[in-house]
Structure 1
Amino acid sequence: MAKRFVRGWPKVHRLAELRERLDSGEIESMEPFGRAMTRALENARFDPETGEAVWIEEDYCSPPLAMERAEVLDDYFEEITIVEEDVDEAAGWRQIDDLPGLWAQVLDEA
């Protein structure tokens, strides 16, 4: 299993909808990636220097995040970039732990 360090610009006007889909359990029920994606997006951070959302996501796809992008991510983020394809999950989260949470930052501004 690979962990990806991901960055993407949030489509701020659409994030309330994404938050509703996460809260309702809709995304969590998507197989095979829903639980991992839900956990990653709920813990996503906001990089105020770049305006990007950043997170660590479990992924088995080739190309990386193919299913996740097709089903969810491309609807809510632009220019999604895999910064690191095989990151240690704990180390990856530590790299962004000091950034503000995505949801508090972006939904407050929307």
Structure 2
Amino acid sequence: MAKRFVRARPKRDRLPDLRERLNTGEIGAMKPFGRAMTKALENARFDPTSGEAVWIEEDYCSPPLTMERAKVLDDYFTDITVVEEDVDEAAGWHRIDDLPRLWEQALEEV
């Protein structure tokens, strides 16, 4: 199971729409990646130093995040970078655990 450590710059004016799509389950219903993407984005963090969202996502695409970008991510983020292609999930989340949650930070600023 491949886990990717991802950084991306949020399109802040688009985040309320993404939040709504997550809340309604629209993204979670997308096959085959919806459940994994929902989990990743629900738990995404915000790095105030860089202004980027960061998260760990399960992904099997080559190149990484191909389907996810086409269907969702490119609508809501720019500069999407897979920092690490095969990260231990628990260790990856631990690395960013002290950052504020994306949804608490970003939606307050919109």
TM (norm. structure 1) is 1.00
- Counterpart-to-counterpart distance in 2, 1:8 and 1:54: 7
The question of 1:62 aligning with 2:62 is answered yes
2:103 and 2:16 map into 1 onto residues whose CA distance is 9
Q: Which segments of 5 or more consecutive residues in structure 1 lack a partner in the other structure?
A: none
- SS of 2:14's equivalent in the other structure is helix
Q: Which runs of 4+ in 1 moved over 2 A?
A: none
- 5+ residue gaps, structure 2: none
Matched, 1:5 2:5: yes
C-alpha distance in 1 between matches for 2:49 and 2:66: 27
Q: SS where residue 40 of structure 1 aligns?
A: helix
Q: How do 1:72-87 and structure 2 match up within 5 A?
A: 72-87=72-87
**Separation (CA, whole Å) in 1 of partners of 2:49 and 2:40:** 21
Residue 105 in 1 paired to residue 97 in 2? no
Q: What's the offset of the Cα at 1:96?
A: 0.1
Counting aligned pairs with the same residue, the percent is 76
* Partner of residue 48, structure 2: 48
Which digits, 9 at most, give the CA deviation of each residue in 1:14-63, with x for residues without a partner?
00000000000000000000000000000000000000000000001011
Paired residues, number: 110
